[in-house]
């Protein structure tokens, strides 16, 4: 039986719609009380299992009320943040992987930094953001992050409608969000923390360096909560979790007989390949290619055709027709501790990456929803 990432369980798609409702004093899916100001602290890469394993080093975060969410699928930052800030699944907002096929050019494009003339943010990301919806209701929205993200195409795609405010240090971001919301009389704020994810990719989430960053983050949250006033609510969540994959667990697909025969493009990421077949690959040959992948990888991955993934609602219960060709003809989502690479094209930095995510395991899909301040 295939996993169902978009089931009846609450997900990242429920966060901002619930916050908008809480600002209006209305009932909402997350059961949030009415507030004047609502802040989401998004800690990139902080899965629930990671926080639980290091609870003694993050007593503020681990000691608070945590109802947990599912990230959705694929469990990669581009998809998950778009789901968070639009309230829509990837099948509607259209960001379906770390890298994805642009159907007209048949190019594989990076969804975080591959924006430009080919990917127009207002067109490729197809859903209205929650910030645009809030603006139509007269609710101010603030996004706080590092300077390097301010003018990126991805920021325009997923944060449009929010005022972007720069704060390069984690310790400044929550404080600046609070101050700016005071200045505009209350509203929504989104605060982005990428540092833990960056460390985990390089060193692993089980490293001492990652643990030190978690302790620093917990201290920042503890200091902020001491200053929170009535009517101010803070939610701490994440876009995905992580697993550490040692290099000896890499699967080099170009060295496995026949796996790339008939594959025209490879998208996705090492924990969740999205294979696009050659356009002239005939029916029997397509079936044979799928069969080869299943025979080779079924013991350690879910090997699923696009039609099977859509039927299982992997990209949400509704998928726009324009989004369908962006999804691979065949998806290979890791169940075991493996990562897939093509050794002919993988960079040294990619092969050196320790912390990984993208697939459907609980470690990658389950993220915290920590309620603090007026939401506690």
Bridge pairing between strands 369-373 and 232-237? antiparallel
Backbone angles phi, psi at 370, to 5 degrees: -95, 125
- From CA 100, how far away is CA 108, in angstroms rounded? 5
Q: Whose structure tokens read 């989502």?
A: 333
pLDDT digits (tens, 9 = 90+) for 44-59: 999 999 999 999 999 9
CA-to-CA distance for 35 and 364, rounded, in angstroms?
31
Location of structure tokens 């603090």: 372
Question: Which domains can be identified in the chain, with CATH numbers?
Answer: 12-244+360-373 (3.40.720.10), 247-356 (3.30.1360.180)
Report the sign of the C-alpha dihedral through residues 282, 285, 287, 292, in that order: negative
User: What values do phi and psi take at 208, rounded to 5?
Assistant: -65, -35
pLDDT by residue, tens only, the chain of 376 residues: 788 888 778 999 999 999 999 999 999 999 999 999 999 999 999 999 999 999 999 999 999 999 999 999 999 999 999 999 999 999 999 999 999 999 999 999 999 998 877 889 999 999 999 999 999 999 999 999 999 999 999 999 999 999 999 999 998 999 999 999 999 999 999 999 999 999 999 999 999 999 999 999 999 999 999 999 999 999 999 999 999 999 999 999 999 999 999 999 999 999 999 999 999 998 999 999 999 999 999 999 999 999 999 999 999 999 999 999 999 999 999 999 999 999 988 999 999 999 999 999 999 999 999 999 999 9
Is the dihedral angle over the CA atoms 240, 244, 247, 252 positive or is it negative? negative
pLDDT of residue 282: 87
3-state SS record for 194-222: CHHHHHHHHHCCCCHHHHHHHHHHHHHHH
Q: What is the pLDDT of residues 195-245, one digit of tens each?
A: 999 999 999 999 999 999 999 999 999 999 999 999 999 999 999 999 999
* Kind of pairing between the strands at 339-341 and 366-367: unpaired
Q: At what angle do helices 208-225 and 195-203 cross, to 10 degrees?
A: 170
């Amino acid at each position: 039986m295939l996993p169902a990432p978009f089931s009846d369980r609450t997900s990242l798609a429920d966060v901002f719609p619930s916050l908008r409702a809480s600002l209006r004093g209305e009932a909402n899916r997350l059961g949030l009380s009415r507030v004047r100001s609502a802040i989401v602290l998004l800690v990139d890469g902080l899965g629930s299992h990671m926080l639980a394993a290091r609870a003694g080093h993050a007593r503020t975060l681990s000691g608070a009320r945590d109802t947990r969410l599912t990230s959705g699928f694929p469990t990669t930052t581009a998809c998950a943040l778009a789901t968070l800030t639009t309230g829509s699944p990837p099948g509607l907002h259209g960001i379906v992987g770390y890298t994805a096929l642009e159907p007209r050019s048949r190019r594989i494009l990076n969804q975080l930094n591959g924006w430009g003339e080919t990917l127009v943010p207002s067109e490729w990301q197809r859903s209205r953001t929650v910030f645009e919806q809030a603006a139509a209701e007269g609710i101010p929205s603030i996004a706080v992050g590092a300077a390097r993200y301010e003018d990126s195409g991805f920021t325009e795609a997923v944060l449009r409608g929010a005022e972007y405010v720069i704060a390069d240090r984690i310790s400044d971001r929550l404080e600046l969000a609070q101050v700016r919301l005071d200045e505009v009389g209350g509203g929504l704020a989104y605060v982005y923390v990428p540092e833990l994810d960056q460390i985990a990719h390089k060193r692993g989430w089980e490293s001492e360096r990652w643990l030190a960053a978690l302790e620093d983050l917990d201290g920042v949250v503890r200091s902020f909560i001491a200053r929170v006033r009535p009517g101010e609510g803070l939610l701490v969540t994440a876009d995905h979790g992580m697993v550490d994959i040692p290099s000896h667990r890499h699967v080099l697909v170009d060295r496995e007989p026949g796996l790339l025969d008939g594959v025209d493009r490879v998208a996705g990421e090492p924990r969740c390949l999205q294979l696009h077949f050659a356009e002239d690959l005939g029916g029997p040959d397509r079936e044979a290619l799928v069969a080869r992948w299943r025979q080779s990888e079924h013991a350690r991955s879910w090997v699923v055709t696009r039609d099977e993934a859509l039927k299982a609602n992997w990209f949400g219960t509704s998928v726009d027709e324009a989004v369908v060709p962006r999804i691979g003809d065949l998806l290979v989502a890791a169940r075991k501790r493996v990562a897939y690479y093509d050794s002919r094209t993988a960079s040294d930095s990619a092969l050196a990456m320790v912390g990984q995510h993208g697939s459907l395991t609980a470690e990658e899909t389950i993220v915290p929803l920590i309620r603090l301040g007026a939401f506690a």
